[in-house]
Homo-oligomer: A and B are copies of this chain.
Amino acid sequence: MVKPIFSLIFSSLFLINIACAQNSEVEWKPELTDDWTPVTDSVSTTGYFGEPPSDAIILFDGADLSAWESAPGYFPSMDGVPDYLEALQREYDSAPWKVEDGIMTVVPGSGNIKTKQGFGDMHLHIEWRAPAEIVGDGQGRGNSGVFLMGLYEIQVLDSWQNPTYSNGQAGAIYKQKAPMVNASRPPGEWQSYDIFFEAPYFDDDGKLIKAAYVTVLHNGVLIHHRQKLQGPTVYIGLSHYEQHSRKLPIGLQDHGDYVSFRNIWVREI
């Protein structure tokens, strides 16, 4: 007796085979991992701008970008990004962003930057500001990102009255987890992230012993409490861990917007 289920399964397998053959009907789209609901509640806050503790490593105190360098095509999450970011392949002799009046600002088109030093378990304090004048919307407004170990992104975005998918807004573990609340301040105002990060741990055979975990305060408000990461940030599809070293540079993303940063320091924990 021929059952309909068999033909279904057969055709499914067939679809998989042609998917492997690059058939466009079965392929991941970036939108598939966007969560639009629930919409995150907003909390108003004046921020949280502490001085670095005595054992902190200063990554930017307003003077220069000497702790940073150019990071062409650095971030894995760019795989599959079709346009702007893929083009950022130039390498510069030094970090190509602008420093003025004690703040650093993305130079769109110059590419990402990363720290010269590698970090694993850390408290990263970083302050950032989206342009006061609103240009664009959704992901196209005040977009940048903090890449822990160059792999795990905490999203930077002007999320003040700016709807986008919840796991893509400011403070999101990009494409993995929306923040508990939206603690964004208006564009043009300084905001802070305090990121408490536990690096993943692999044994010598590459087996994952312990996943990465992150706690984040956005302007002093808890938005993640030791959240487990699924793996490195990916723009398309699902994430899986791949073995890497215990310390890797922190990256900041050029996403084409004039996002500024100041007071960046790390305490190794």
Contact = CB atoms under 8 A, between A and B. Distances in A.
A170 to B, nearest CB: 15
Given A50-B46, A221-B267, A19 B6 contact: no
A50 B53 contact: no
Q: Which of A3, A5, A9, A43 is packed against the most chain B CB atoms within 10 Å? A: A5
Interface residues of A, number: 72
Interface stretch (A69-77, A93-101, A145-153, A195-203): A195-203
Contact of A51 (B12, B31, B46): B46
B45 A16 contact: no
A256 interface: yes
A13 B138 contact: yes
A244 interface: no
Task: Count this chain's copies in the assembly.
Answer: 4
Interface of A: 3-6, 8-10, 12-13, 15-16, 18-20, 23, 25-26, 28-34, 36-37, 43-48, 50-51, 53-55, 82-85, 108, 123, 136, 138-140, 165, 180, 183, 194, 196, 198, 201, 203, 209-210, 213, 215, 219-222, 225-226, 237-238, 246, 255-256, 267, 269
Given A32-B237, A44-B53, A225-B226, 6 more contacts: A5-B255, A25-B29, A26-B31, A47-B51, A209-B210, A215-B225
25 contacts: A5-B85, A9-B140, A12-B37, A13-B138, A13-B139, A16-B36, A16-B165, A26-B32, A32-B237, A43-B53, A46-B50, A46-B51, A47-B50, A48-B48, A48-B50, A53-B220, A196-B222, A196-B225, A201-B201, A201-B203, A201-B210, A203-B246, A209-B210, A215-B225, A222-B269
